[in-house]
A and B are shown apart, each in its own frame.
Chain A
Amino acid sequence: MLKPGVKDLAKYPFLAEAGEYLRDTGLSLDNLGDPDWKPILERAYGRIVVASSGQIYSPDIERLDNDSEILSFIVAIILLKSVAINTLTRRFSLAEARRAEKYLQQDLWAGKDKKNLELPLKIIQELFGIRVSIEKEEFVINIPDYLKRAVHFHEKEWKLVNRRVTNGFVYLTAHETVRLIRTELGEYINSKIQSISINSIPESFSERVQDLILLAKKFPETVVVSSEYPPCVKHAIEVLEKGENLPHSGRFLLATYLLARGQSVDQIAPLFKNAPDYNERITKYQLEHISGSAGKGTKYQCPSCDKLRSENLCFAIPDCDGIINPVQFGKKRKN
């Protein structure tokens, strides 16, 4: 890869070259434990705390002290390894990915005229195997590379049908290009952290390690549940109430959804009474199979929004944005 400079490493400290940089400085882990380096430890700690709250640590790169940027990232990794709580590492990885995403985007955008794109494009290509080329003001990637990443986004504008597509390629803005690899970048940073092994840490780090353990213990996810049914389930109930025929897939949706919401077979069965082909015994039998209480004990899950769309059972409303399964409807995460 093109050799990144120290300023590049400050932006992208997860690159392998950051390790070389550390070796070149001649610093060891013990050195970093020295009180002189306390500001680095504090910056590293701060970096993790910011990440854990879902924020992005992003100082102004122009006025940045490159060395402390790189070193604080390395120290942060050492702290995370000692804390050894996956949730914290994952939050840090994602936040760092989003931080790098900002710089990647700036670098792509600033470089597009000056042909100064080697580094950002190489990062994308060498870490994630995506070839990005530039056409006029747009970034171009091939359809399979696009689809493999974009299907994880649930906003409609990421659907291939809503992109400009020509000759096997998809056209993106700088922002969209880096957004596409955010998850992978997070996973890459996460796996880098996982792969590092550390035997012991300087004594001076242990207080911050304890602080982080306490911090991570406060992470329970609070979920607010609304009593509203998603529109697909409402539709299924309406069809049945009218005594019209609901296809098998619609009945399956209704049953799995209500079971997932904690209703019992006996509570659900009466819903099907109006179906033109209702048979109490068969309904019970099928519900028991779906719930896993009969048959081989397999409990069937509620079908995904994707699947329902393809079965024409999806009647999405704005509140459906961002969910991939009806059971997520109305549940909002509070951070």
Chain B
Amino acid sequence: MLEKNATLVEGAFKEYYFNRFDVVHVPVRASEREFGYQKINSGMIRHLAIKNDKELHLLLMKEIPSDVYCSNAYYSFPNLPMAEKDWKGADLIFDIDAKDLALPCRKDHTVSKCTSCQNVSTGEQGKCSLCGSTKFESASVICSNCISESKKEVKKLIDILTSDLAIKKEEIDVYFSGNEGFHIRVTNTAYETLGSQQRADLVDYIMLNGVIPETFGIKRQNSSKILLPTADEKGWRGRIAQNLFTTKAKTSRLTKQIISEGYQSFQLRLEEIKQSMGVKVDPKVTMDIHRIFRLEGSINSKSGLSKIQCSNLDSFDPFLEACLLGEDEVQIISNCPLSLKLKNKKYGPYNNETVTLPKYAAVYLICKGLGNTL
């Protein structure tokens, strides 16, 4: 980030951390966790121990980080090097990001910025229309469709966590990630000690990865023992039955059809079901038992929005509720071919023009690479 932009962004972050101690807290069992942070234009500092809110607030005031992280893992010695930390367990975490959902709206709110001439255009570009360069940085700006589709994934996930894995609702915390998705954290002692490989299998369950026709009694060779699921069953069997057999009346006809179609076509059906019903989480995040994960309440420097808890997912509007930076007006030059809505107010499109904006909007555009301080 350019130095002049960094000054503005850092100033806005400082003000936030100074005024909003009420939203920035350490998670439960803080003294067993590893913390880390980054400052604008510099590397990651990690292996820190922070015992309580007071120590956290002190660090935030002193360092004004661009991003703050905290481990999902519990350690005996969180501030020692990884090999000596003594891993005790870790919360189950999930990352649902709109960019992984392959949504058709993506191209409508993605802008490409040519790295040679800074020309900004919408959609994915092959070649810069001004200078012909083929190198781009892309940025995606807020989109309510992305958020509502991500919410659907969160709900699918919560359904599996509560009904299949017997995790209680009160053990599940849902957070807006601060950019384009949601983070889900489960604090449940039964799953806490699972290792990385075991979490990988759990993720495959949630995503419906690796499901085979044999599980439903459909074998490569003809078999008399077909165990097609019924809609009243629990777990994936029940969910898949509901998908296969839309009504009771059609069940027997559809069963015959499925059996006669054979193994490979059932495999294709399962693949389709996986696409629509499997939860699209980022498997790498859940598998990682040493990850430092964005701290709730902290600002995401990809957007200037905060990672905050969603107590009511349905009504949650990140562009209103997570937009917590100051409102004083600042002037920037913005080149943003799209319009966006923050705090119920519309901004843009801007064509390389000087605009006076509230700080939260100015920081948003700068963080997305679509604006510069004067």
Contact = CB atoms under 8 A, between A and B. Distances in A.
Interface stretch (A67-75, A108-116, A150-158, A279-287): A150-158
Contact of B204 (A157, A161, A164): A161
Given A161-B210, A164-B235, A148 B204 contact: no
Given A161-B204, A161-B205, A167 B191 contact: no
Nearest to A157: B214
A250 to B, nearest CB: 16
Interface in A128-171: 142-144, 147-148, 150-151, 156-157, 159-169
Contacts of B237: 164
B210 A156 contact: yes
Interface string B183-198: 0000000110111011
Interface in A289-316: 306, 309-310
A146 to B, nearest CB: 9
Contact of A165 (B190, B193, B203, B205): B205
A310 B190 contact: no
Contacts of A306: 197, 200
Contact of B210 (A142, A143, A159): A159
A118 to B, nearest CB: 25
B193 A167 contact: no
B197 A166 contact: no
Contact of B201 (A142, A151, A157, A164): A151
A151 B198 CA distance: 6
Contacts of A151: 197-198, 200-201
B239 to A, nearest CB: 11
B214 A160 contact: no
Contacts, number: 85
Contacts of B210: 156, 159, 161-162, 309
B99 interface: no
Contacts of B209: 161, 309
Nearest to B167: A168
**Which of B165, B190, B233 has the most chain A CB atoms closer than 10 A to its own CB?**
B165
Contacts of A169: 166
B284 A160 contact: no
A127 to B, nearest CB: 19
Contacts of A163: 215
Interface string B65-90: 00000000000000000000000000
A310 B197 CA distance: 11
A280 B194 CA distance: 43
B234 interface: yes
B197 A144 contact: no
B211 A162 contact: yes
B164 interface: yes
A310 B287 contact: yes
Interface residues of A, number: 23
**Which of A156, A160, A167 has the most chain B CB atoms closer than 10 A to its own CB?**
A160
Given A147-B198, A147-B201, A167-B163, A162 B212 contact: yes
Given A162-B214, A168-B165, A310-B283, A144 B208 contact: no
A148 B194 contact: yes
A277 to B, nearest CB: 11
B236 interface: yes
Contacts of B197: 151, 306
B342 interface: no
Nearest to B214: A157
B324 interface: no
Q: Is the interface of B mostly helix, strand, loop or mixed?
A: helix
A155 to B, nearest CB: 10
A310 B207 CA distance: 11
A157 B164 CA distance: 18
B209 to A, nearest CB: 7
A160 B212 contact: no
Contacts of B211: 159, 161-162
A221 B55 CA distance: 58
B202 interface: yes
B202 A159 contact: no
Contacts of B200: 151, 306, 310
A34 B284 CA distance: 63
Nearest to A163: B215
A26 to B, nearest CB: 45
A166 B236 contact: no
A142 B189 CA distance: 13
Contacts of B165: 143, 165, 168
A163 B235 CA distance: 9
Contacts of B284: 310
Contacts of B164: 165-168
Contacts of A159: 201, 204-205, 210-211
B235 A165 contact: yes
Contacts of A143: 165-166, 190-191, 202
**Which of A144, A150, A156, A161 has the most chain B CB atoms closer than 10 A to its own CB?**
A161
Nearest to B213: A162
B194 A161 contact: no
Interface string A1-20: 00000000000000000000
B124 to A, nearest CB: 15
Contacts of B205: 159-161, 165
Interface of B: 163-167, 190-191, 193-195, 197-198, 200-205, 208-212, 214-215, 233-237, 283-284, 287
15 contacts: A144-B193, A147-B194, A148-B195, A150-B201, A159-B204, A160-B204, A161-B210, A162-B212, A162-B215, A166-B234, A167-B163, A167-B166, A167-B234, A169-B166, A310-B203
The list of the 7 closest CB pairs from A to B, nearest first, reads A168-B166, A166-B234, A147-B198, A165-B235, A162-B215, A160-B205, A161-B205
Given A143-B165, A148-B195, A159-B205, 12 more contacts: A143-B191, A151-B198, A157-B215, A160-B205, A161-B210, A162-B210, A164-B237, A165-B205, A165-B236, A167-B234, A306-B200, A310-B283
